[in-house]
Amino acid sequence: MITIKEATSKGDLTTFVKFPFELYKDSPYYVPSIIKEELDVMNPNKNPVFKNADAKYFLAFKGERIVGRIAAIINWIEVNEQKKPKVRFGWFDVIDDIEVTKALINKVKEFGAQHSLEYMEGPVGFSNMDKAGILIKGYEELNTMITWYNYPYYADHMTELGFEQAATWVEYKIKVPKETKEKVVKFAEVIKKRYQLKLLKFKKSKEILAYADDMFDLLNKTYSSLQTFVPIQQYQIDMYKKKYLPYLNPDYITCIADKTGKLIAFAIVMPSFSKALKKMNGKIYPLRFLHILRAQRRNDTAAFYLIGVDPEYQNKGVTALIFKEMNETFIRNGIETVETNPELEENKAVQALWNGYEHEQHKMRRTFRKAL
């Protein structure tokens, strides 16, 4: 018999967060999240997203055994301002039992119906800055710090329960050239002079803070036309600055300003933390965090997280200047491979950026949608 319990206490939520550790304990590809960070995300006193969101968390049991989890989420900016009557679901993990998935999904359905919403979609987080999508390709690849991992049967469960495909993301693995191509160097210099642009590089991560708000403003401008977009709020920006600053290696951050000093483009790349996070196994106390510090400085793989370009400068070759600087950073730091952030399949402009490099699409993930 399957029973569903809403996780409300700190103990329940800790159990909720730790369930994937048991589910994927034998998987060499699962990269665990930091337990404390996950709990903070779910805490209304620590995550300001709850100013415009509501959420419930559910655990599925067979007897005393935990067999699944799911979060039901409403982003009220999306519902009220963007007029999308959607209840989201995320943090979805389950054993290979369609009845367990059905019981969990029914809780999402009930939550959405209570608020007169019309359809559900997931897995997603609170906003488009959170993890999203069921993995449908790349099961033998480590997930990154900002993606979920799952077994192949997840998508089968969605299909069997009558869900339709919604958004699809693709990810690429790019081989770093051993030297920056001469034509890239020349073209970057032409673009720099033509538009009187200035390259901004940093020595300390705290120096990046002065430009952080402008970066998120560019993200809002860059991705506003995409189907999953929800505007990033200032309180979220403040949280992300605090959350991710410890992970940034300033040598990997590239910003470009115009002649007045206004930020017009940026790229955030980090050394890959996947192997470090596996070693940390959800814990972040000082000795475990040494794995992150080592990964920041000694690594042969990097993760391309974010790129933003002011619409006024899109399709004008500005990315050539970014890529020139990033390639030189990779060579200087011994990076051989770069993995991209999930990119919406429809975002052909971003995918075209990799055409000049040896690359392969090694992962794909998807959200699923169903009327309530």
Q: Which residue has the tokens 């790229």?
A: 267
| SS3 at position 336 | coil
Is 367 in a helix, a strand, or coil?
Answer: strand
**Cβ 300 vs Cβ 336: under 8 Å:** yes
Fold agreement between 2-170 and 177-335: yes
pLDDT of 349? 73
The answer to whether the beta carbons of residues 262 and 309 sit under 8 Å apart is no
pLDDT for the residue numbered 76: 95
For position 74, what pLDDT does the model report?
97
Q: What is 2-170's CATH topology?
A: Aminopeptidase (3.40.630)
What pairs with residue 2 in β-bridges?
Answer: 62
Does residue 118 carry a pLDDT above 80? yes
| Whether residue 61 has pLDDT greater than 70 | yes
CA distance linking residue 226 with residue 346, whole number of Å: 8
Q: Find out if CATH 3.40.630.30 is the number for domain 177-335.
A: yes
Q: Mark out the alpha helices in 118-229 (DSSP H runs).
A: 153-160, 182-194, 205-223
Number of H helices, E strands in the chain: 12, 14
pLDDT digit string, tens, across residues 286-334? 777 788 888 888 899 999 888 888 888 888 888 888 888 889 999 999 9
pLDDT one-digit tens code per residue, 219-251: 777 766 665 667 777 777 777 777 777 677 888
Domains in the chain: boundaries: 2-170, 177-335
